[in-house]
Structure 1
C-alpha cells in the first residue's frame, strides 16, 4: 500500500479517530485537528512525529486557513484532505434556536467548504490531491426531525459534486462518503437536541428526538470496515464520486432515488410544455 500524508479534521472520536489509527498503524503520516489536543495524547505518545496535531474549531475560518497553511508548511506535500468534523442536530425545525441553526451550518457546511478552499492552492501547486468529504445517508435522504442536519449535508454534497469537474484539470479528485448508522459516538455522544415544544409530541419529528433520548436503536455499521474502504478509495483513479457504506444507507438511498426518478418521469410532459415553441 502507498504511504501518504493525510490531513483529517476532527480526529478525537468517530470516523476521524478510526481513520487516524488505521493510517498511522499502516505507516502513513496524519495531520489531525481537534478542539482539545489532550484527547489524542495517547496517539501522539504512540506514534510520535507521524502524528501532527493542531487545535481547531472549524467554525473559525481564519483559524482553518492558518492550520492548513501550517500543516502543508510543516509536512510538505499533503496527499489527502478528509473533511470529517461535524455533528448532528435533531428536533423539529420550529424547535431549533437561531444559535443552533447557525452553528450547525457553520460547522458541517461552511467549515467543510473553507477547509477545501484553504487546501486548494497547495493542491494546485503540487499538482495533485484528493479530498474525501464525509457526508451521510442523510445527504441523499431526508427524515423528519433532522432538517438542519440534512440542509448541511445536502449543501456540502452539492458543493463537492460541483467541484468534481471544476478541479479535474488540476488532478484533484473528490469523493463523497455516505455512511449509514455506525457504532461511533455520533448518535449518542456528539448529537445535539433542540429545545422541546409540546406541540410536536405527536409529530413524526419527535421520533428523531426519542431515538437520541432513549439511546436504544442499535447501529448496523462497523466503523473500522467503513474506514478501510475510505482509505482504499484513494488508490482508485479517477476518484469514485460517491461511496455508500452500510446496508441501511443503501436501502434508504435506493428508495429515495427511485421515488425521485418516478416523480421526475411523471412530469416530463409538463416540463417540456414550458419551453418556447420551436419554429421550423
Structure 2
C-alpha cells in the first residue's frame, strides 16, 4: 500500500538514504531540508512522488506551514519521521550557552514543533505513525556528548508520553535508537566546542573507544526502516545496529543492581 511519508533532515545521511528507499518502494515522500538543492536528484529520478520543502525545524511557524503544504499536496500524511538533528561534541564545562541552546532547539524543540504540526492531520485521519529518530544515547551516555545525550533523553521522555496520549486516536509512536553509524553526523554535520586542555585525557579516552567495528553501515538500515513503516503494530522502540541493545542491557543491569542496593534507603524515605 502506498503511504505518504514526511521526513525531516532529508538532505543527507539517514534522511536521504531512507527517503530514496521509500520512493523506490512506491511511497510518496515530503522531504524537508534547509537547502532543497540537495534533493534535486530525487526530484529528477522520482518526479511528482517527492515533494521537496525548505524547512528549518527550529521555526515553529514554518514547521506547521510545511506539514500543511505536504498534507494539501498529497491529501494525507501517513508517517512522520523526525530525523533532523546534529551532534554537539564537547564536555559540559566546554559547552557555550549558544551551543547548548542551539542543540536543544534543533534536537528537541524542532522535533516537538513538527510533531505538533502533524498531530491534527493524523487525528483527523484516525491513523498515523510518528517515528522519532532518537539514539542509544537517549538511554545511555558517553562523555564529550553531554548536550546531545540530554537532547535525546528529552526526546525519549517526550515521545514515550506522546505514545500514551495518542494511541486512542489510532496513532503509533516509535523511537528509533541507532548506535554509531558512518554518516556525516560526527563529521560535517557536527559542532565542536572549543576544547580545554584539562579535558584532554577524557577526549583521548573517548577517541580510543571509537573503533571501526562499532560503526554500522548506514545503507544497511534500509530494510529495518521499511519494515517499521510497513508494520501494522510497530514497537515503541527499535534499536538499529548490533552494538546498541547489548550496551543498553549492560548499563540497565548495572543500574538495577545499584537501585536494589539502595532500595532500603529509598523505601525509608517514603515516610509511611
Q: Does the pair score TM above 0.5?
A: yes
Greater mean deviation of Cα atoms: 90-99 or 101-110: 90-99
Alignment of 1:95-244 (within 5 A): 95-202=94-201, 204-208=202-206, 210=207, 217=212, 220-244=215-239
Moved over 6 A (4+): none
State yes or no: 1:266 paired with 2:265.
no
Give the superposed CA RMSD: 1.8
Check whether the contact 2:58–2:113 (CA below 8 A) recurs between aligned residues. no
Offset at residue 234 of structure 1 (A): 2.7
Greater mean deviation of Cα atoms: 7-16 or 238-247: 238-247
SS of the equivalent of 2:220 reads helix
Q: In 2, distance between residues paired with 1:188 and 1:250?
A: 24
Unpaired stretches in structure 1, ≥5 consecutive residues? none
Greater mean deviation of Cα atoms: 227-236 or 29-38: 227-236
Check whether the contact 2:214–2:243 (CA below 8 A) recurs between aligned residues. no
Q: In 2, distance between residues paired with 1:230 and 1:256?
A: 26
Q: In 2, distance between residues paired with 1:103 and 1:198?
A: 24
TM-score (norm 1): 0.92
Offset at residue 5 of structure 1 (A): 0.7
Which residue in 2 is equivalent to 1:57? 56
Check whether the contact 1:183–1:219 (CA below 8 A) recurs between aligned residues. no
Offset at residue 249 of structure 1 (A): 1.1
Unpaired stretches in structure 2, ≥5 consecutive residues? none
Check whether the contact 1:58–1:64 (CA below 8 A) recurs between aligned residues. yes
Counterpart among 263, 269, 275 of residue 270 in structure 2: 275
Q: In 1, distance between residues paired with 2:114 and 2:120?
A: 11
TM-score (norm 2): 0.95
State yes or no: 1:81 paired with 2:77.
no
1:92/1:105 CA distance change after superposition, 3 Å: same
SS of the equivalent of 2:2 reads coil
Per-residue CA deviations over 1:172-216 (Å, capped at 9, x if unaligned) read 0000010111122112221111011122223x24544x579xx97
Offset at residue 217 of structure 1 (A): 4.4
Check whether the contact 1:145–1:207 (CA below 8 A) recurs between aligned residues. no
Check whether the contact 1:130–1:174 (CA below 8 A) recurs between aligned residues. yes
Per-residue CA deviations over 1:137-159 (Å, capped at 9, x if unaligned) read 11111111110000100000110
Number of positions where the alignment pairs a residue of Structure 1 with one of Structure 2? 272
Per-residue CA deviations over 1:51-90 (Å, capped at 9, x if unaligned) read 0011011111111111111111111111000000000001
